[in-house]
Structure formats: C-alpha cells, structure tokens
Chain A
Amino acid sequence: MKIVRNWIILIAVLTGIAAALFISGKQHKVFIDNKKVGEYAAIDVSYSINGEKAKNIKVNKKAMVYVKGPKHKLIIEFKDDTGKDVILENEFKLTPTEDATIYLPLLINGEEDWIKPNN
C-alpha cells in the first residue's frame, strides 16, 4: 500500500513538473502587424519584446518574433502627432497552445483588442 502511494505521489509530482516545464518553455509565434486597421492609420514604430534589442517596423509591414513562456512585456516607441516621443509599455499573456498577432495601430490608439490569438 505504501509503495503504491509513493508511486502515485512520484507520478503526480513528475506530471506537475512536466506541465510547468511545458507551459514555461513553450515557444509561441507572435506577429506584429503594422497595417491600417479600420479608421486607425499605421505609423513607423520601434518595438521590443521581453527586453530584447528594439527593432523598427515600417508602415504596412508585418514582423514575426518567437517568445517563450506565457507572460511577456512589449515596449513600443513612436512619435505622436506633435512629434513628441511616446513610449508605451504593455504586458500580454498567451495560453500554452496559442500564437498571436499584435495590431500596432490598435495598441497606439488605446484599443483593448490590440492582441488577437491566431488559432
């Protein structure tokens, strides 16, 4: 009985660790879309995900980055209508099986649905 209990505990612990490793190590594709969405026009933006080196994305372009794990930090930098530099910091979460697209024009204009899952 004791042996069976120990085996069940061991299997449960290993399964738990495996699930944690899967979630924290899962790689996701995140597309960064800088095309006009509805009434919101696109502008040149510099973006950085999870502290990586910032990259520029021009109008009407789409980029792809790989991210690992569920929780991520996105920093974007752009010039507003007055020519002033604006920096926006946002966080987003992904479920283990999810890839996503970030719509920069929506994000810049303060819309809530700036990130949408792909699958």
Chain B
Amino acid sequence: MENKIKKFLINNVVPIFMVIIILLSIPISGLSIEYLIQEIILRLSRNLFLVLSLLIPIIAGMGLNFGIVLGAMAGQIALIFITDWNVVGLQGFFLAVIITLPIAALMGYVGGIVLNRAKGREMITSMILGFFINGVYQLLVLYGMGKVIPIKNEAILLSRGHGIRNAIDLKNIRRALDDGITFNIGQYSIPVLTILAIVLLCLFIVWFRKTKLGQDMRAIGQDIEVSKSSGIAVDRTRILAIVISTILAGIGQLIFLQNIGTMNTYNSHEQIGMFAIAALLIGGATVSKASIPNALSGVVLFHTMFVLAPRAGKELIGSAQIGEYFRVFISYGIIALVLILHQWRREKEKEAERKRILEMNSNQAGGN
C-alpha cells in the first residue's frame, strides 16, 4: 500500500506540485472563479491542438518533438500568403490550412530524416533543427518575400519593398474559427468549431493508435531492434510520425494565431515548442508516455498558472512582472525536472532489472 502511494506520488509529482501552486495562488490573485473558467476555456481552445500534436512522436519513441516549431513556421508562411491575397473569414483560415499541409509535410520529412540519423538523441536534435530552420525561415521571409516570392500587399511589406514586417495584423481571420459557431452556457462562451477540431484530433489519435501504422509506432517506441527484426520499416515509420506531428503543429499554430489576432512574424513560433511541451509534461506525461488526458489536464494546469501568476505576483510583491518571470521559470524548470525524473526512472528500472537477473542467476546456482 505504502509502495503504491509512493509510486503514485513519484509518477505524478509534477501535476501535484502544480495543483498545490495553483490552489495557493487563487486566493492571493483575487481573481474570480468565473473569470478563471472563461480564461481556461479560451486557452484550451487556443493551445490544446498544438499540445496534442506532440503525442504521435512520443508513441513512436521519439520523445518530445521540439521540432513542432517547424510546423508553426509552415503555418505562419501560409498566414502571410492569405493576408497578402486578402482571403478573409473561415475561407481564409481553411485556405491557410491547405497551404500549410505541403510546407509542413516537407519540413516534417526533412526533420524525420535528420532525426533518423540521431536515434536516441531526438529531443536535442529536434530543438537544434528548429533553430536552424528558423534561420532559413527568417532568410525566406526577410529577404525572399517581395523579391523572389511576389507579395503585393504593402501593409505587410517593409518600407524598402521586400521582407515582411515584424507584426502582421490578422484582422482578416481574427477569431474566424472561434466565432464561426459559438454556444453559450450561462455566462461562458464556447467556441464550437475550435472545440470540434480538437475533438476530431483526439478521435484521430485514438483511431490512429489502433491502425497498423499506429501499432508499428508503438512497437518501435518499445524497442527499435525488435521492431526491425520483425520487419517493420523503422526509419519510414519514424519519418511519418514526425511528418504527422509537424502538419498537426502547423494547423495548431493557425488555430493559436487566429485566436490571438496578430502574428509576430519572427518570434511567434519560437516559444511554441517549449510552452506546448511544458504543458504536456505538467499534465503528467513523460518523455516516453503521454496521453490525451495528460494534454488536457496539462493545458488546464499550465494556463491556469499563466493567468494566476502575474496577478499573484502583483498582489504579493507589487509587480506583475514577477509573475512573468515565474511562469517562464516554471516552464523551463518543469521540462528540466521531467527530464531528470525520466533519467532517474530509467536508472531505477535498469537497477531493478539487474537485481532481478542477479537473483535469478543466484537461484539457478543454488538449485544446481
């Protein structure tokens, strides 16, 4: 019994820690529960799709895909095009989704090939790959657009005639998906289309896990060598996992930005990977195991803290800035903590396995 409680506490140390922080922050912040609920609904619809895009590479044993920033960049390129072409409303949003698909697929394919050459070090490789592709993206957007790629809309072009401005007003598609169909429950407004997109993605993930490809990914996630011996095309399957994740991240970024309503051309994608990963880990996921409930609870906990931290900081110290430091500190801290815990668990498991084999050997020796 004691062991079970200990195991539960160790497995859920991060969500428990977060729940304690949130429960302490609520009374300090002075925010009403109604306000918090509306904020959580808003942030769930804004962020959950992005967080869910991380699940498939974890199934395939590739860890946390910091490379979702590649998908985010693909989404942003699509947004630049639809803003230039003046395609508005839901049509603009869905056109951006269609433009995102091939760009994100190509980026995912490149990412998958690179990660196949760095087996066992996928997380750091995907992070560095994100930085590298960010450079290519900046080159394309800052020098290519308006020069090589025709852009006619002067409102988004820099005054020199080429390159995209630092911030783009997405008024053409602002809240297009969120306000497409809304449903009111009491004082709370529910963005039906966005929630529907998230539910469809959850159903897709559940269905995907049961398919042949999904089972192959699970097998690869458990043991690459055994999967190879049993005839699974390991490299191809891993590339597909990254391609799917990158495409989903691209769509997730579109959902995120249509909700925000403005796009920071050169920075909007940069923090996406870290915040999405932090949210997933806060929900109790690990590097090797993550589920839809982890993503859901993680987004709720992480973003409740996002809302509470600045107000709690202001009430405690007189500066909302401290809340901002606090949440960035928490994001990086949680990722570091989970990576340490993952390594610690692996060491423990290895040690237990070693003990078990030694006991087996000594029993066999005693029997002889």
Q: Residues of A with Cβ closer than 8 Å to B? A: 14, 17-18, 21-22, 24-27, 68
Contacts and interface: CB of A to CB of B under 8 A. Distances in A.
Nearest to A68: B88
B98 A27 contact: no
A21 B101 CA distance: 15
B95 interface: yes
Given A21-B94, A21-B98, A25-B90, 15 more contacts: A14-B98, A17-B94, A18-B99, A21-B87, A21-B92, A22-B87, A24-B91, A25-B88, A25-B91, A25-B92, A27-B88, A27-B172, A68-B88, A68-B89, A68-B91
A71 to B, nearest CB: 14
Contacts of A17: 94, 98
Contacts of B85: 22, 26
Sorting the interface of chain B by its residue count into under 10, 10 to 19, 20 to 34 or 35 or more gives: 10 to 19
B86 A27 contact: yes
B102 to A, nearest CB: 9
A66 to B, nearest CB: 8
B258 to A, nearest CB: 13
In the complex, which of the residues A14, A21, A68 has the most CB atoms of chain B within 10 Å of its own CB atom? A21
Interface in B175-199: none
Contacts of A27: 86-88, 172
A21 B92 CA distance: 7
14 contacts: A14-B98, A17-B94, A18-B95, A18-B98, A21-B95, A22-B87, A22-B95, A24-B91, A25-B89, A25-B90, A25-B95, A26-B86, A27-B172, A68-B89
Nearest to B91: A25
A18 B91 CA distance: 9
B105 to A, nearest CB: 12
